[in-house]
């Protein structure tokens, strides 16, 4: 619950969990003669519902809202949602009146690559992300950490709309003799932009051949390889590229022929498959860049 802030322009007010405004307005009018331009009218058993999706943990979200009562009084409310991790759904009543506006803002600070997607709708009773008694979708869109989003004013967007959030991800270092294997988490959609990894081979005399592939549900979708072999006792940094120079490479560097950019959904894997990989060979310094969107589907 947001406490009253002394000296604020307008004290927070509204239905619980916000505080009720006690100071009456100076201007009164008959709402039958002067009504808002929008027609979103809440009955007493309606609630303002929210579905939240994010790629972070412990996100603090603040919602400020205004509505016009049948008596012609404009009320204001402020809700500090409980800490959000991955997904959340909640609702609260306006009692009765016209919804005038709402704004959402992340108050827990900015983290690189962080995003939060929200849906606002009319409901009667609690509504989860999937299903629930939804009467109408009012607005949906991404909420930035440094600016407010909301309605009216900000265009409504689907969860996969927009340019996406640019993320640079440090991958997991596999055990010696094991392959790189990275998976797209649930509720994410990726567009892979770049990939890098380093392979250090042991002294076992045998040429290795590095390949990089994408699969979904165990089905291989794309596989690209390096043009040159990787000798024993050698360290080479590999980078994915939509083309490979077959005439040679800079010492310690090689390209992997790979389709970029490539779209990926939850459960997709990015993995290496190295011919003649030895027990003492080590993949490391795994890193890649993606554009990321939310996705309701798992």
Question: Do 97 and 203 fall into the same domain?
Answer: no
Q: Give the model's confidence band at 13: pLDDT under 50 very low, under 70 low, under 90 confident, else very high.
A: very low
Judged against a pLDDT cut of 60, whether residue 3 lies above it is answered with: no
Rounded Cα distance, 254 and 30, in Å = 75
Question: Do 178 and 290 fall into the same domain?
Answer: yes
Q: Of the ranges 5-14, 39-48, 103-112, 259-268, which is most confident? A: 259-268
Residue 96 lies in a domain: yes
Between the CA of residue 83 and those of 1, 87, 107, 211, what are the distances in Å? Answer: 12, 10, 11, 42
Judged against a pLDDT cut of 60, whether residue 222 lies above it is answered with: yes
Q: Give the model's confidence band at 268: pLDDT under 50 very low, under 70 low, under 90 confident, else very high.
A: very high
Question: Do 169 and 264 fall into the same domain?
Answer: yes
Residue 244 lies in a domain: yes
Question: Do 189 and 285 fall into the same domain?
Answer: yes
- Tokens 């794309």 sit on residue: 222
Judged against a pLDDT cut of 50, whether residue 10 lies above it is answered with: no
> Which tokens sit at 256?
């992997």
Question: In which domain, by residue range, is 87 found?
Answer: 41-151
Cα 119-289-258 angle, rounded to 5 deg: 120
Residues facing 202 on adjacent strands: none
């Amino acid at each position: 619950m947001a406490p009253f802030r002394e000296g604020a322009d307008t004290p927070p007010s509204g239905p619980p969990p916000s505080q009720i405004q006690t100071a009456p307005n100076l201007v009164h009018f008959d709402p039958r003669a002067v009504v808002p331009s929008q027609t979103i009218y809440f009955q007493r058993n309606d609630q303002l519902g929210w579905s939240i999706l994010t790629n972070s943990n412990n996100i603090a979200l603040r919602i400020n809202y205004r509505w016009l009562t049948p008596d012609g009084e404009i009320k204001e409310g402020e809700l500090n949602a409980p800490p959000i991790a991955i997904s959340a759904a909640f609702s609260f009543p306006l009692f009765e009146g016209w919804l005038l506006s709402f704004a959402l803002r992340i108050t827990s600070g900015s983290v690189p690559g962080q995003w939060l997607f929200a849906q606002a709708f009319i409901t009667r009773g609690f509504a989860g992300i999937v299903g629930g008694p939804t009467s109408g979708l009012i607005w949906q869109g991404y909420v930035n950490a440094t600016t407010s989003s909301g309605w009216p004013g900000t265009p409504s967007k689907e969860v996969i709309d927009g340019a996406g959030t640019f993320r640079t991800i440090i991958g997991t270092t596999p055990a010696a003799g094991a392959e790189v294997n990275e998976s797209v988490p649930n509720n994410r959609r990726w567009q892979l932009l770049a990939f890098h990894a380093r392979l250090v081979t042991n002294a076992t005399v045998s040429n290795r051949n590095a390949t990089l592939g994408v699969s979904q549900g165990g089905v291989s979708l794309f596989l690209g390889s390096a043009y040159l072999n990787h000798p024993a006792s050698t360290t080479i940094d590999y980078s994915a590229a939509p083309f490979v120079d077959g005439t040679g490479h800079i010492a310690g560097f090689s390209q992997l022929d790979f389709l970029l950019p490539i779209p990926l959904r939850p459960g997709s894997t990015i993995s290496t498959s190295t011919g003649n990989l030895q027990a003492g060979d080590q993949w490391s310094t795994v890193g890649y860049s993606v554009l990321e969107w939310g996705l309701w589907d798992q």
